[in-house]
Amino acid sequence: MKRTLTSVLVASALLSLSATSALAKVTDKDIENDATTPGDVVSWGVGTRGQRYSTSTQINTKTVKDLVPAWSFSFGGEKQRGQESQPVVSNGKMFVTGSYSRVFALDAKTGHKLWQYEHRLPDGIMPCCDVVNRGGALYDNLFIFATLDAQLVALDQDTGKVVWKEKLGDYAAGYSATAAPIIAKGMVLTGVSGGEFGIVGRVDARDAKTGKLVWTRPVVEGHMGYKYVDGKPVENGISGTLNATWPGELWKTGGAATWLGGTYDPDTGLAYFGTGNPAPWNSHLRPGDNLFSCSTVAIDVATGKIVWHFQSTPNDGWDFDGVNEFITYKTKDGKILGGKADRNGFFYVLDAKTGKFQNGFPFVKKQTWATGLTADGRPKFIPEGRPGDPAKSADGKKGNSVFAAPSFLGGKNQMPMAYSPDTGYFYVPANEWGMEIWHEPITYKKGAAYLGAGFTIKTLDPKDIGGNYIGALRAVDPKTGKIVWEVQNNAPLWGGVLTTKGGLVFWGTPEGFLKAADAKTGKVLWEFQTGTGVVAPPIAWEQDGEEYIGVATGWGGAVPLWGGEVAKKVNMLNQGGSMWVFKLHKH
């Protein structure tokens, strides 16, 4: 009898040991199911579809008043710059990236630091828009993230030691990387930053366990894609027809940076990546649509081929990067659609399988460059809304300046929106601002800014936008195009959004508040001052019977650097760098 008991104890000890180590490894299944498993958040977007919808209900419209801090953790040092990272949580551990390509592994319940990784950055890096990072991907026992010197680094989740490291691009040519990678079918998918330096936008797929390239797909027409067999490149078709939509040689340095990363829908087998501005900004140098800039490209992850593309701003002349996240969702009749709030101020609804345009409408109140969309979703341009051709100016050096809205910082920028299957609304962190912009002559020089434009960001007349504000968290109905409710904000919104089955929407403000509103009505039910601006998206997860809300804080990003008059208006905001976690107070 005694012997039997001992062997039962040994067996159960072994069982729990193997259960623990099995749990510690993040699988493809964990990632595909992420959106419906509240015990972890293993992907950027809270599920690779990017809905940022938590199925947790403990924190809800009734209980949120009792939400209090559980812990806070400082990223420390003097590196207090913009913190745009979405943390991931697995097996009781949180992994969050910080400014300057740092990673912190924390006990998700207590905030106790497990390890810290500091990537050694060279002096010559050229990030356009602050030294930010937006988070990492979990796969197996790895945490994988991209660095400001355009490398992809995989760390051991237990020790923080480098397991593999791969180069994404030449930082001396302007390549950098700030987006969170995503995982699809055991591959890690990444984009590149550097659209202001004439780089060539690209999506790469690598074996997530080894970092070895599986395929690479440039997103500028004329460039070749490759598959890799035994480490050797094999031609995989051209990304488009050479020179069809670009004049001369400009496609060679055509931009279209995939700098915000992508989403992936296991039901379509497609990864959706947004692409940035065509380079240079001076659009008169490149008559044509300049594919696949300012577009959504859908890539079959099995082959690395572009299955469809949808261009939101053909021949962009305003830096209306089309990088914004394409979030897929199912309609009641089982159709898979995708929604995207573009930097150009229009919201697009597309068929996620074919890219066919379904519906489109403005989600901002002032647009100077287009009067609307055609039946197939192409903008109806206002010719006078485009900055003038410098070649036609008296001295050939500066084209006519125009006032344009949105500004190049966008109706929406890097801050990801959320979609609730309960309300059917998208929750869009929008901004209302404009700019003076003009075009100038420019020629490409490796490693130098390649704009051919000048600009100043401006605030808008409150009469034009219905109030004295810049930011507005907007609930948008993708069926009707109506803004159902909005919460205005003095400073531009720059953090992302989380929505929950508890009927809530969470978002942060540059003024330092993390807020929660009723997802149906927009009534603000809770807010907490974190001490510095919030420019990152919140997450929710459950652990030991309790629901937690977490958000990285730290003011920064593109606004203080490029925001012109708006930057002056918000120059009282203080920098920081912390992780904040909340849970319900027990009475």
Residue 260: CB minimum distance to Ca ion, A: 11
If the CB atoms of residues 194 and 304 are measured against Ca ion, the closer one turns out to be 194
Residue 10: CB minimum distance to Ca ion, A: 33
Residue 274: CB minimum distance to Ca ion, A: 11
Catalytic residue (one of 40, 319, 321, 342) = 319
Residue whose CB is nearest to Ca ion in the complex, by number? 37
Q: Are 493 and 471 in contact (CB under 8 A)?
A: yes
Residue 368: CB minimum distance to Ca ion, A: 19
Residue that the structure tokens 């959004």 belong to: 497
Tokens of 410: 């966008």
Residue 234: CB minimum distance to Ca ion, A: 32
Residue 48: CB minimum distance to Ca ion, A: 11
550 to each of 467, 530, 534, 577, how far by Cα in Å? Answer: 31, 12, 12, 14
Residue that the structure tokens 């209306």 belong to: 320
3-state class of 164 per DSSP? Answer: strand
Tokens of 223: 């460039």
Cα torsion for 78, 532, 175, 207, to the nearest 10°? 100
C-alpha closest to that of 325 among 441, 434, 417, 192: 417
Contacts of residue 31, defined as CB under 8 A and 6 or more positions apart, other chains included, come to 42, 43, 48, 138, 139, 183
**Residue 563's CB: how many other CB atoms inside 10 A?**
23
If the CB atoms of residues 199 and 493 are measured against Ca ion, the closer one turns out to be 199
**Residue 122's CB: how many other CB atoms inside 10 A?**
9
Residue 80: CB minimum distance to Ca ion, A: 25
Q: Are 485 and 472 in contact (CB under 8 A)?
A: no
If the CB atoms of residues 34 and 149 are measured against Ca ion, the closer one turns out to be 34
If the CB atoms of residues 511 and 547 are measured against Ca ion, the closer one turns out to be 547
Q: Could you give the count of Cα atoms lying within 13 Å of 494 in the half-sphere of its Cβ?
A: 32
If the CB atoms of residues 128 and 566 are measured against Ca ion, the closer one turns out to be 128
Strands 137-139 and 142-146: antiparallel
If the CB atoms of residues 259 and 347 are measured against Ca ion, the closer one turns out to be 259
H helix count then E strand count, the chain: 5, 40
For Ca ion, the binding residues (CB under 5 A) are 34, 37, 40, 195, 276-277, 319, 321
Q: Could you give the count of Cα atoms lying within 13 Å of 347 in the half-sphere of its Cβ?
A: 26
Strands 187-190 and 213-218: unpaired
Question: How many residues in total does the chain contain?
Answer: 587
If the CB atoms of residues 197 and 426 are measured against Ca ion, the closer one turns out to be 197
Cα-only R_g, the chain: 23
319 is catalytic: yes
Tokens of 153: 């680094």
Residues labelled as active-site residues: 319
